[in-house]
């Protein structure tokens, strides 16, 4: 996938045959519910450097859809219940996405398992955030399962979406401590806090070309840049630590 630019004026004129090069990046966000990650994503980019957003939901009543409409973002709903099969729904969703021609498709609380054909059609352009430190705790109820397992660190992972659920190569992770009195709800709130910091940074890193999908290796890489081409705007650390990890929670000792 070619580097995508957050600002059209940064596009190197005439250097690419890719019709996407040089235009404002297009980002489709797929949601199913409240859309708190969607809000964090949209809020992260200053309007001067904002991607061209499109929000699509499989749930017509999703709160995140109404929020996006109120922001003036174009939305679509493709209700999975209107289709006879998973494959038929995915084909319809893919057709909508292809009409939008996104540089990046961001799953943000999109509660659907996607078919291999769908994942393949968008390979390198499809990312998800999962509320656990993959490869641990794939699937649902991650916070309760983390507490049952007794892990001391938990968090969120941004990863490429592949045919195997919650197993795609990892782009970035955010880490939170598990505290002695945690419930799944309390731990989940802490994870969501780190998701809202992690996901926008990861999306911005992909759009700026700071991180790129290397298809041959099947992983995310930091592309080599020519000498003197360093751009602080492209700096990206694919690891975000919760502030509590700098304090006494790390040792489990009470504050002195």
Nearer to ligand GRF, 37 or 115 (CB): 37
130 among known catalytic residues: yes
How far is it, in rounded angstroms, from Cα 104 to Cα 127?
Answer: 8
Which residues, in sequence order, are bridge partners of residue 221? 212
Nearest residue to ligand GRF, by Cβ distance, number only: 109
Q: Does 166 bind ligand GRF (CB under 6 A)?
A: no
Q: Which of 3, 26, 33, 51 binds ligand GRF (CB under 6 A)?
A: 33
How far is it, in rounded angstroms, from Cα 24 to Cα 101?
Answer: 12
Closest residue by Cα to residue 37 from 196, 175, 206? 196
Q: Does 238 bind ligand GRF (CB under 6 A)?
A: no
Q: How far is the CB of 20 from ligand GRF (least distance, A)?
A: 26
Q: Which of 25, 51, 102, 109 binds ligand GRF (CB under 6 A)?
A: 109
Question: Do you know the residue count of the chain?
Answer: 256
Q: Which of 25, 51, 102, 131 binds ligand GRF (CB under 6 A)?
A: 131
Dmax (CA) of the chain: 61
Q: Which of 52, 80, 130, 167 is catalytic?
A: 130
Q: Does 146 bind ligand GRF (CB under 6 A)?
A: no
Q: Which of 37, 58, 75, 173 binds ligand GRF (CB under 6 A)?
A: 37
Q: Does 36 bind ligand GRF (CB under 6 A)?
A: yes
Q: Does 129 bind ligand GRF (CB under 6 A)?
A: yes
Q: How far is the CB of 128 from ligand GRF (least distance, A)?
A: 7
CA Rg value for the chain: 19
Kindly indicate which of the ranges 67-75, 87-95, 127-135, 228-236 contains the residues binding ligand GRF, using the contact rule CB under 6 A: 127-135
Nearer to ligand GRF, 34 or 152 (CB): 34
Q: How far is the CB of 239 from ligand GRF (least distance, A)?
A: 17
Mode of pairing for the β-strands spanning 126-130 and 153-160: antiparallel
Alpha helices in 116-183 (DSSP H): 116-121, 142-149
Nearer to ligand GRF, 21 or 90 (CB): 90
How far is it, in rounded angstroms, from Cα 39 to Cα 101?
Answer: 22
Cα torsion 116, 79, 108, 67 to 10°: value is: 160
Q: Does 108 bind ligand GRF (CB under 6 A)?
A: yes
Residue located via tokens 């968008």: 122
Query: CA-CA distances (angstroms) from residue 252 to 152, 232, 243, 255?
Result: 9, 36, 15, 9
Q: Report the catalytic residues.
A: 130
């Amino acid at each position: 996938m070619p580097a995508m630019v957050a600002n059209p004026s940064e596009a190197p004129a005439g250097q690419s045959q890719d019709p996407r090069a040089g235009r404002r990046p297009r980002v489709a966000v797929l949601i199913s519910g409240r859309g708190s990650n969607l809000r964090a994503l949209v809020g992260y980019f200053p309007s001067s450097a904002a991607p061209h957003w499109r929000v699509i939901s499989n749930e017509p009543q999703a709160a995140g859809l109404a929020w996006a409409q109120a922001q003036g973002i174009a939305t679509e709903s493709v209700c999975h219940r209107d289709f006879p099969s998973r494959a038929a729904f995915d084909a319809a969703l893919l057709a909508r996405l292809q009409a939008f021609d996104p540089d990046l498709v961001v799953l943000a609380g999109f509660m659907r398992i996607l078919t291999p054909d769908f994942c393949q059609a968008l390979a390198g352009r499809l990312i998800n955030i999962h509320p656990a430190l993959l490869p641990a705790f794939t699937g649902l109820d991650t916070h309760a399962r983390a507490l049952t397992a007794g892990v001391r660190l938990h968090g969120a992972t941004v990863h490429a979406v592949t045919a195997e659920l919650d197993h795609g190569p990892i782009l970035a992770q955010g880490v939170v401590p598990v505290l002695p009195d945690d419930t799944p709800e309390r731990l989940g709130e802490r994870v969501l806090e780190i998701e809202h910091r992690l996901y926008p940074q990861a999306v911005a890193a992909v759009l700026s070309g700071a991180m790129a999908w290397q298809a041959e290796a099947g992983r995310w890489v930091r592309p080599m840049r020519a000498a003197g081409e360093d751009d602080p705007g492209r700096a990206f650390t694919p690891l975000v630590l919760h502030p509590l990890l700098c304090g006494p929670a790390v040792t489990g000792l009470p504050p002195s």
